[in-house]
C-alpha cells in the first residue's frame, strides 16, 4: 500500500485493488496515475458491456485478454503504462488468475506475482501452495510472502489488503498492518562479518 515520490516513501495507504464488473478483480503495482488511467479504460469497457443488456457479461478471461491488448498497444506506441497487473476472477464456476506487465507479456497460472514478488514470493508459493487450501490458509501463506518481501525492501510498507472473489462477488478487506520482528541479529548489525573497507 506504499506510494513513493521518487525514492521518498510518501503515501502509506494507497489502495491497489478494485473489482471489475461482476466476475473480476484487479491488482496493480507500478505507477498509480497509469493504474487510474487503466481503471478508466475498464470502467468504459464494463459500461459498454452492460449497455448490451443481453444477460451476458465479461468474465476474467475476457478482461485479462483486453488488458494484454491495451498494454501491448501502448508499448508499441512507445508510451507504455508503467504497471504490472494481476487479474483474478470466477465465472460459471471457473477460476481464473493471470498477470500482464507493461509490455504486454502475460500468462495464467495458479499463483502469480509482480515486481520483487516474482523473485522472492513465487518460489514460496510454488513450494507451499495447494489446490485445496482454505481461505485462512491462503491468507497465512500470502502474509508469509509479504513479510519476506517487506524484510528485503527498504522502501516497503507493512500495510496490505486481502481480496477475495467468489461467484457471489468481490470482498476487499480494510487495510491492516503485518506483524514484524526486527530483533534478528542480522538486522541489529547488518555489517558484522562483512568484507571490505566500509
Dump pLDDT digits (tens) for 81-112.
Answer: 999 999 999 999 999 999 999 999 999 999 99
Q: How far apart are CA 152 and CA 149, in angstroms?
A: 5
pTM of the model: 0.86
What is the percentage of the chain residues whose pLDDT exceeds 90? 69
C-alpha cell, 28 = 496493480
Whether residue 198 is contained in a domain is answered as no
Whether residue 62 is contained in a domain is answered as yes
Whether residue 21 is contained in a domain is answered as yes
The CATH number that applies at residue 93 is 3.60.20.10
Domain that holds residue 15: 3-180
Q: What are phi and psi of 61, to 5 degrees?
A: -65, -45
Q: How far apart are CA 107 and CA 88, in angstroms?
A: 12
pLDDT band at 197 (very low <50, low <70, confident <90, very high): low
Site of grid cell 513465487: 122
* pLDDT one-digit tens code per residue, 128-162: 999 999 999 999 999 999 999 998 887 788 899 99
Whether residue 25 is contained in a domain is answered as yes
- At residue 109, the pLDDT reads 94
Whether residue 197 is contained in a domain is answered as no
The alpha-helical segments, DSSP class H, found in 53-167 are: 60-76, 117-128, 135-151
Whether residue 196 is contained in a domain is answered as no
- At residue 16, the pLDDT reads 92
Whether residue 191 is contained in a domain is answered as no
- Range with the poorest average pLDDT among 66-70, 99-103, 179-183: 179-183
Whether residue 78 is contained in a domain is answered as yes
- The closest of 97, 100, 58, 91 to 167, measured between CA atoms, is 91
Q: How many CA atoms lie within 13 A of 22 on its CB side?
A: 12
Domain count of the chain? Answer: 1
Q: Would you say residue 9 has pLDDT above 70?
A: yes
Amino acid at each position: 500500500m506504499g506510494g513513493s515520490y521518487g525514492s521518498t516513501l510518501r503515501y502509506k495507504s494507497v489502495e491497489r485493488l478494485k473489482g471489475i464488473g461482476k466476475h473480476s478483480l484487479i491488482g496493480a503495482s507500478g505507477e498509480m496515475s497509469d493504474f487510474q488511467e487503466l481503471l478508466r479504460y475498464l470502467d468504459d469497457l464494463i459500461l459498454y458491456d452492460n449497455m448490451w443488456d443481453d444477460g451476458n457479461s465479461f468474465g476474467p478471461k475476457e478482461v485479462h485478454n483486453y488488458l494484454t491488448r491495451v498494454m501491448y498497444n501502448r508499448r508499441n506506441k512507445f508510451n507504455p503504462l508503467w504497471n504490472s497487473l494481476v487479474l483474478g476472477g470466477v465465472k460459471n464456476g471457473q477460476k481464473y488468475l493471470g498477470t500482464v506487465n507493461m509490455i504486454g507479456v502475460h500468462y495464467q497460472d495458479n499463483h502469480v506475482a509482480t515486481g520483487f514478488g516474482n523473485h522472492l514470493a513465487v518460489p514460496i508459493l510454488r513450494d507451499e501452495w495447494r489446490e485445496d487450501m482454505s481461505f485462512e490458509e491462503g491468507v497465512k501463506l500470502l502474509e508469509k510472502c509479504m513479510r519476506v518481501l517487506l524484510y528485503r525492501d527498504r522502501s516497503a510498507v507493512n500495510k496490505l489488503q486481502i481480496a477475495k472473489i467468489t461467484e457471489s462477488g468481490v470482498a476487499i478487506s480494510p487495510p491492516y498492518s503485518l506483524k514484524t520482528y526486527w530483533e534478528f541479529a542480522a538486522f541489529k548489525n547488518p555489517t558484522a562479518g562483512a568484507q571490505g573497507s566500509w
